[in-house]
A and B are shown apart, each in its own frame.
Chain A
Amino acid sequence: MGFRALRVINDDRIAPGRGFGAHAHRDMEILTYVLDGGLTHRDSMGETRTFGADTIQVMSAGTGVIHSEFNASEQEPGHFLQIWIEPAVTDTEPSYQQISIDPKERSGRFKLLAAPRGHNHDEAMTIHQNAFVYAAVLGSGENLRQKLAPGRHAWVQVARGNVSMNGEELAEGDGAAVSDEQDLSFTGGPDGSEFLYFDLA
């Protein structure tokens, strides 16, 4: 199940005022990427936060977290990606991080959202795994290239629109696993594209 340390990507569409009641996580790095609407998060660490598409959240469940997540709006539906990455170490102290990003930062380029703990990426959040998570937004026909180091693997998840990756057409909701490739070329489809890129050990 999953690909390398990437366990699952949940594509959640949540009706107004609805969500996921209190439930537990343990030993999992959980990234929440909001596409539409807003999410209210409440957890056993005492965090209660509402955030939208300009904010990315990472929760390291470690020894255990109980939390709930609800669509912050009583009128508008919400659309979220929730990404689970298995940590390289277990029983860590639970933690919570979030960063705000300007849409320009992922327009036509890869914006680093999360990096392994110990790497010095001031603007990114840290996770307990040798994995880098990026987001990118491409306009129609816009091209972006990425190098994948030997021995590394990638997962591409299309959040919106269509994108061509080395000639392979990917539509919204598609995911693609990449191994044994070093040069990746992405081109936005007719309506552009927003996608996540995972660089994995």
Chain B
Amino acid sequence: MLDINTLVTFSSRTGSTEKLALAAALGAVQSRSNIRLRWVPENVDVQTISLVPEWRANRDRMAREYIAPREIDYLWADVLVIGLPARDRVPFPELKTYLDILKGLHIAGKLRGKVGTAFTTESIEQSDPALVSLCSILDGLDLILVPPDATAAGNTVDRARLHGRRVTEVARDLKRAGTTAFP
């Protein structure tokens, strides 16, 4: 079976997006992919975070359990999975942190042909305009996009897991077909 490397990056405030990111990563593992899980901290000052005890507790825990994505992680990956919180169908400002990293890699031609996907906490539950705009951004970065399956059954965690599995299997099929997507 062909080796596939899947990088799951996510931002999460109270743990909801983390839960879905873990599920997507688990789906990739079930598809026999190697995985790396990376957390992108929010650009919010500590005083503001401390106003919400659950947020502060989760942030402290995640800071202990994860490291932030490094360039070498993106270069290692065949598949990039990005998970973002969303509220009222608008992605949180953490998106900018991803784009700062991804744009640099794109300009250097280091993303060409990698498979990419994204989800928001709301997109797993329903069609989400925030996801559409997120995907259009990824499309402009030369990634081969695999959007979430809108017809997938199950609860939100099951759907995230199936999505992680699906995107990995698409990447493996592409690699097996010998596409130039994987230099």
Contact = CB atoms under 8 A, between A and B. Distances in A.
A66 B67 CA distance: 16
A82 interface: no
Nearest to A27: B32
Given A66-B22, A66-B26, A24 B66 contact: no
Interface string B12-42: 0000000000110110011010110100000
A190 B146 CA distance: 64
Contacts of A84: none
A57 B43 CA distance: 38
A72 to B, nearest CB: 12
A70 B29 contact: no
B64 interface: yes
B66 A21 contact: yes
Chain A contact residues, majority secondary structure: strand
Given A44-B22, A66-B37, A24 B29 contact: yes
A19 B25 CA distance: 20
A93 to B, nearest CB: 11
A42 B64 CA distance: 13
A80 B25 CA distance: 27
A28 to B, nearest CB: 12
Interface in A1-53: 17, 19, 21-24, 26, 42, 44
Interface residues of B, number: 14
A68 B26 contact: no
B66 to A, nearest CB: 5
Contact of A24 (B23, B35, B65, B67): B35
Nearest to B33: A24
A63 interface: yes
Interface of B: prevailing SS? helix
Given A44-B26, A66-B25, A21 B32 contact: no
Interface centre among B29, B37, B66, B67 (most CB of A within 10 A): B29
A64 B23 CA distance: 11
Q: Which of the listed residues A19, A21, A63, A70 has the most CB atoms from chain B within 10 Å of its own CB? A: A21
Given A44-B23, A66-B22, A22 B66 contact: yes
A54 to B, nearest CB: 25
Which of B32, B35, B65: most chain A Cβ within 10 A?
B65
Interface string B60-76: 00001111000000000
A21 B30 contact: no
Contact of A26 (B22, B32, B37, B64): B32
B29 A26 contact: yes
Nearest to B25: A66
4 shortest A-B CB distances, which residue pairs?
A: A64-B29, A21-B65, A24-B29, A64-B30
27 contacts: A17-B64, A19-B64, A21-B37, A21-B64, A21-B65, A21-B67, A22-B22, A22-B25, A22-B65, A23-B37, A24-B25, A24-B26, A24-B34, A24-B35, A26-B29, A26-B32, A42-B65, A44-B23, A63-B29, A63-B30, A64-B29, A65-B26, A65-B29, A66-B22, A66-B26, A66-B29, A70-B64
Given A22-B66, A63-B29, A66-B22, 8 more contacts: A21-B37, A21-B67, A24-B26, A24-B34, A24-B35, A66-B37, A70-B64, A70-B65
